[in-house]
Amino acid sequence: ETWNNQWKKRSHPEKKFAGLFITHQSKSKQHIPAVAKEAEAIEKIIDGDFRKDNDAQVRDFFNSFDKAGVLHISTHSYLSGTQKEPTLAFDDAEVFLFELSARKAAPDLVVLSACRTADGVMNSGEGIISLSRGFAAIGTGGTIAGLWNVNDKAASEITVNCYNNILQGQKISTALHLAKLQWLEDKQRPVQEFLPY
């Protein structure tokens, strides 16, 4: 019954792409210049609602749940506090994992273009408590997330290639796999960029 209810919430053709891109240019957190390039590259190939920096706030994140089929978030992510709470940093504030549980709707796909979004505390009998898991728990069809700190430029390029592959008709898992292979096959990159993170 739970699966049926979640399936009914998903696959609405009117739902579009929503992207939140936070560079933290004017904030105390480390500036991420690759986020602006990622937004620019995705905007060239996908129509949708693109919000950047001051226009990408917590309320915009939560409003996107009801409107987006694909929700893309580029920002800082980390484990915070003594409880190691998975956290996303927006322009105006942070969103913690527990805040996702109150959502009534969920996008079909969430792309977390940020560090350690599949990382968290290992809980016996439960597994890793992460942002990725939080999105799955509220009914998101799929989540693209990472275990490690990411190279910003690499994440940006892999993400754009993934969207290109999806637009060419690839299934999401295949599109991401091919985007990673495209990255690895480019021999012009420094050796350290071929490490898993």
Which is nearest to 65 in space by CA: 115, 21, 109, 8? 109
User: What integer pLDDT is reported at residue 196 of this predicted model?
Assistant: 67
Encoded tokens for 29: 């957190």
Q: Per-residue pLDDT for the chain (197 aa), expressed as one digit of tens each? A: 665 555 555 554 567 999 999 998 766 678 888 999 999 999 999 999 999 999 999 999 999 887 899 999 999 999 998 889 999 999 899 999 999 988 888 899 999 999 889 988 888 888 889 999 999 999 898 999 988 888 888 889 999 999 999 999 999 999 999 999 998 888 788 877 777 65
Sign of torsion over alpha carbons 47, 48, 49, 52:
negative
CA separation for the pair 176, 188 (Å, rounded)? 21
Alpha carbons within 13 angstroms on the beta-carbon side of residue 43 total 13
User: What integer pLDDT is reported at residue 50 of this predicted model?
Assistant: 96
User: What integer pLDDT is reported at residue 17 of this predicted model?
Assistant: 95
User: What integer pLDDT is reported at residue 9 of this predicted model?
Assistant: 54
CA angle, 111 as apex, 76 and 138 as ends, to 5°?
100
Q: Are strands 68-74 and 109-113 parallel, antiparallel or unpaired?
A: parallel
User: What integer pLDDT is reported at residue 4 of this predicted model?
Assistant: 59
Do 53 and 20 form a contact (C-beta atoms < 8 A)?
A: no
CA angle, 101 as apex, 16 and 150 as ends, to 5°?
65
Give the three-class secondary structure for 85: strand
User: What integer pLDDT is reported at residue 152 of this predicted model?
Assistant: 84
User: What integer pLDDT is reported at residue 3 of this predicted model?
Assistant: 56
pTM of the predicted protein model: 0.87
User: What integer pLDDT is reported at residue 28 of this predicted model?
Assistant: 65
User: What integer pLDDT is reported at residue 173 of this predicted model?
Assistant: 93
